[in-house]
Structure 1
Amino acid sequence: MKRAESVTFGSSGLDRAAHLRGDPAALDRLASDAAARCLLMWRGKLLLGGDGLDRLAWVPLGHQLIQSGPGGNTDSPVFLGLDDDGAAVFGHDISNWQAVGLDTASVGAFFDKSEQQHPDLPPGEVFVELRRVMTRLTPREAELAATAKAISGWHLSHQFCARCGERSEMVQSGWQRSCPACGGQHFPRTDPVVIMLITNGDDVLMGRSPGWPEGMYSLLAGFVEPGETLESAVRREVLEEAGIPVGRVDYLASQPWPFPASLMMGCRGEALARDIRVDPAELEDAIWVGRSEMMQVFAGEHDRIKPARKGAIAHFLLQNWLADTLD
């Protein structure tokens, strides 16, 4: 797919400089440069600024929230890589900060519209849920945001050794955890997920999960199981969820999805039948939607279905399907 990497969070060509992760002296030199900068995170949210919250807000490595402020999922800043100007960029979690007096009731919810202003940060720089703003960021900032959020989330859920249960330590500038008790080494994980554009003629298969907002439909998706190819996962998931057998399957594009740490692998498949048999444990509903009807959906003129969320690979695949630009 020619436009594969134009998907939100797609590769911007960031130099991750992995060879520097185990070189403390080199990282210290980079961190001491005035151009070095750090992205702060708080309870899964990222620090943003700008008139429309359309840019990442960076702080210097010497900022008090890094040097002596409340910590969080990361013991010290995680080295994200080198930006195009050669400056080192880092991410650091301060989730132990207690946002006293601020709206935190919806933090962690699927649709979190709240914003939190830290008293030690400039007015207008607030912690925001990434789903809200992901399409406003440049490709580079979107990649940095996804990377920082995913690695911070991994540290939150992997603070203890999976082999012996002892608390592990952050090493390799955040890209590894080491157990001092048994010597176990643990690395960031990414869960593979297939998301499928299943078509039959000019119709595409759409489904909705229980609890989704009214009118929200999307492409079917599911986790790839151990020992399974992408093609097999597509066929199994569609058959399990909607009772539709699938023939040919082709890979289209992938998207890092840091909610919390998935790699969405977009595929298209040809349905061999049309009769839908929904598994209620997986889906609330599944329907065939025609091309002209989907155009109404994308125009916001459909009386039942809302368009897929902008920035998600489902929206990207459907948009390219409508434009006949999948190849």
Structure 2
Amino acid sequence: MDLSIAGILALDGLTNGAVYALLALATVLVFAVTRVIFIPQGEFVAFGALTLALLQAGKVPGTVWFLLVLAGVAALADLVDGLRHHVAPGRIAMRLMRTLAWPVIASAVAIYAAPRGWPMLAQALLTLALVAPFGQLIYRLAYESLADASVLVLLIVSVGVHFALVGLGLFFFGAEGFRNPAFWDARFSAGPVALSGQALIIFIATLVLIVALWLFFDRTLTGKALRATAVNRSGARLMGISSAAAGRMAFGMAAFIGALSGLLIGPTTTIFYDSGFLIGLKGFVAAVFAGLASYPLALVGALAVGLLESFGSFWSSPFKEVIVFSSILPVLLWRSLRDPHTEEH
């Protein structure tokens, strides 16, 4: 290996690492706020990339119908809950409107726009509008009633949600893979290393989102409420912060980040209905490097995972996944020896 090959591999690793960083940040966010190890994070990546691919093909994506079904079930649950607790009809109607408004509007726009070939940027925004609401709806239906359960129970639920989403992905998108066109076809050369416009977009989008998240958590009242929930759920509830609302917001942000990651990585690799699992798992490995607690360490871990994957594929391509996932073992051992063991009550 010479310096030119090393530079190409490093650029490729950093590009993938930037996407893994977004997924790692989403994983840390969800776990910090809700204690959920959210295994299906990668499914949002696949749903985002494949939804855009079907819009590009002029077809109505299956995510439209899935979104409407989830919203309808959530609205029915809100109605039953309101009637059970004798809530005023006006408040029930407002709750139903909040649950149904965005999914119905986004789905109607998607059905109208799909055969009309809107510009790619408009289709990407529409994809985010379709996939991002899945986070809140999935939390509402699968996790909210179990918010105080143990981490193990929440993990088991995550496994079930993962298998359900993978099966639905096969039903909605089929077994065929899709590769989206790049958002920017430019290429920039620096010696033997060529930086594509898509890679530059990935770096810029990752940096912008990280800065936006930092400003959100540091400067806004809502972000501080999420931080308070992450530090102490019981204390946050005593201060009037709704843990249910915090959980929904955390899952909604995670779904948005996952869908955005799918849009970014879609032009660089072929995405299948089950591709999200491996991609999300690499983001989870990066989050474990950070102890599922630190955003800066999650970023560093994601870049390390990307570089390890890139150089591992050069040295032994059939074993690159083994190399990446084996790297988590010394981290887990070190954290097990360093951190005190306490029983969860």
Structure 2-normalised TM-score? 0.24
Q: Larger strand proportion, structure 1 or 2? A: 1
Query: Highest relative contact order (Cα 8 Å, sep 6+), 1 or 2?
Result: 2
Q: What is the TM-score normalised by the length of structure 1?
A: 0.25
The structure with the largest helix share of the pair is: 2
